[in-house]
Structure 1
Amino acid sequence: MNELVSVIIPCYNQAKYLPEALQSIKNQTYQNWECIIVNDGSPDETDNIAAEWCKKDSRFKYLYQENGGLSNARNSGIKKADGKYIVTLDSDDKFEPTFIKKALNSLTSDVNIGLVCSWGFRFMGDKKRELYTPGGGSIKEFLFCNAANMGSLLFRKECWEEVGGYDEKMKSGYEDWEFYIRVCQLGWNMNVLKEPLFLYRQHAVSMRTDAINNHDTEIKKYIYHKHEALYKDHYEDLIDYFLKAIALEKKNNIKVHNKIDFRVGAAVLKPFRIIKAFFKI
């Protein structure tokens, strides 16, 4: 098989990492690819770096646009793509050399598979940190969490076309998860290559950590309302999920209260609470 694969790399203020991402594509054992670098209005050196790589290898292409956010940048790149298979890669991350070949083989071996990702390592500098192993699956696995744990993967362009692309209203994060929900809702499955073929650069502060720490509730509320009919169809799963979440929170609270440092702290504070209550009388 020698189908063209289109790699989409949005870039905003990540110019210093961009060459590593581009080199990871150039190093792929599968060589029939085009790589579209989407400069999402970045004020750094993205323009110059992209121009240098495009000059060296005509398979690299460049697209500049005013800042529109990650979903918009991905959609813009995919619209320009000539391949029937799409790979998305963030500009500060990397793929191992065999990712595209193995992901494409997996995708084309089963007509029910619409998306393929892999296990991956989080890394900082030159040091790999923890291995993460997403499970993938069908719509049921994506109802309450991102069963891919990443936005970098390979998928059929027709999947993107059928669902109308990434949701450009989602500018705070989780746009990849919501995209997978819509794709899997149509009956496609996501396969996971059980090899660490993806490298996710860990930052102290990133869009992912900001979404988790500051926007988690509002984004999930948006997703649940947008897909209200879907969650009603999976009402029993919805109830089970929230009951398990409540039970887990209670269990964790009990563990905290039973810790010796918590008990000692409570004993130390007890006299002050008695005095406070006395003066309220």
Structure 2
Amino acid sequence: MSKKGMVSVVIPCYNQGKYLIETVQSVLASSYRPLEMLIVNDGSTDNSLEIALGLEKEHPEVRVINQANAGVAKARNTGIQAAEGEILLPLDGDDKIAADYIERGVAVLNQQPMVKVVYCKAVKFSEAGQRPWKLKPFSLRALARDNMIFVAALFRKADALAVGGFSEDMHMGREDWEFWIKMLKNGGQVVQLPFVGFYYRLSPGSKRKKTGTNQKKRERIAYLNKKHAAFFQQELNGPLRIQRSWSRRYNTLLKWIGRG
């Protein structure tokens, strides 16, 4: 049973013990209450579970769930199912948020029922410094070509459950992109808050680098086309192509010359 007004921050963690305290501290500094943090330890082989249990013991707002390694989508879904909040915020175990991000995001969701997703401006950071994350403006047509909403956005638990959560069979990366497609393709507005509220950590072993190969891109596009054919037909006049930005023009040309 969801607790009215509560926000659940779902933190999947796989071998991110080095950064986990920093991540949790950024949420504890939030101006919004009530909130809870669900740290889902996804079979880490470092000291992540030990650190998570220490945080749970020290902070009543932290709950730890331990599971065998099953991937980030499964870890997020585990947290979503266990969440007591009406509103969710996925936050990876090495990233951070600004103190006012949750409060300002919740205000939009409460005041505008037609809004399904609230995110903000962001920066990428590492030990070498930080730089703005240049996110493209949102539209469904743009979302059909690429993702511009990072996973650490706010949305209602009911909306996440309605689309079945994150797709656990999407092993080629960018599962957050597919999650936004299925949540938004049949309606719902998106709001980007006009301030930096999310800090994305760049690390040598980041999943984003591992899933950026041409093979993974081809697998991902095939998966998306199979699962959301009607959406791509609507927005791109046909399937998503390897040269994603050219998809609509290419599909339209093929139909014009009778090869669609």
Instruction: Name the counterpart of 1:228.
Output: 229
Question: Partners in 2 of 1:142 and 1:134 — Cα distance?
Answer: 9
* Aligned length in residues: 243
Q: What SS does structure 2 have at the residue aligned with 1:196?
A: strand
Are positions 1:131 and 2:136 aligned together?
A: no
Alpha-carbon deviation of 1:134? Answer: 4.3
Instruction: Name the counterpart of 2:84.
Output: 82
Alpha-carbon deviation of 1:238? Answer: 6.0
Instruction: Name the counterpart of 1:162.
Output: 162
Query: C-alpha deviations, 1:32-78, integer Å up to 9, x for none?
Result: 10000000011111111111111111110000000110100000011
Equivalence map 1:210-221=2 (5 Å): 210-214=210-214, 215-221=216-222
Q: 1:154 to 1:235 in 2, by over 3 A?
A: closer
Question: Partners in 1 of 2:93 and 2:138 — Cα distance?
Answer: 23
TM-score normalised per structure 2: 0.87
Larger radius of gyration: 1
C-alpha contact 1:70 1:171 (8 A) present in aligned 2? no
C-alpha contact 1:35 1:59 (8 A) present in aligned 2? yes
Instruction: Name the counterpart of 2:145.
Output: 144
RMSD: 2.0
Instruction: Name the counterpart of 1:242.
Output: 247
Alpha-carbon deviation of 1:235? Answer: 4.7
Q: 1:187 to 1:229 in 2, by over 3 A?
A: same
Instruction: Name the counterpart of 1:35.
Output: 37
- The letter for the 2-side match of 1:116 is V
* Bigger helix share: 1
Alpha-carbon deviation of 1:194? Answer: 1.8
User: Unmatched 5+ residue regions in structure 2?
Assistant: 252-260
Identical columns (%):
32
TM-score normalised per structure 1: 0.81
- The letter for the 1-side match of 2:232 is Y
C-alpha contact 1:124 1:201 (8 A) present in aligned 2? yes
Are positions 1:45 and 2:47 aligned together?
A: yes
C-alpha contact 1:6 1:87 (8 A) present in aligned 2? yes
Query: C-alpha deviations, 1:142-192, integer Å up to 9, x for none?
Result: 1111121x2111111111111011100012211000000001013112211
Q: 1:109 to 1:140 in 2, by over 3 A?
A: farther
- The letter for the 1-side match of 2:180 is Y
Question: Partners in 2 of 1:234 and 1:197 — Cα distance?
Answer: 30
Are positions 1:173 and 2:185 aligned together?
A: no
Question: Partners in 2 of 1:22 and 1:136 — Cα distance?
Answer: 29
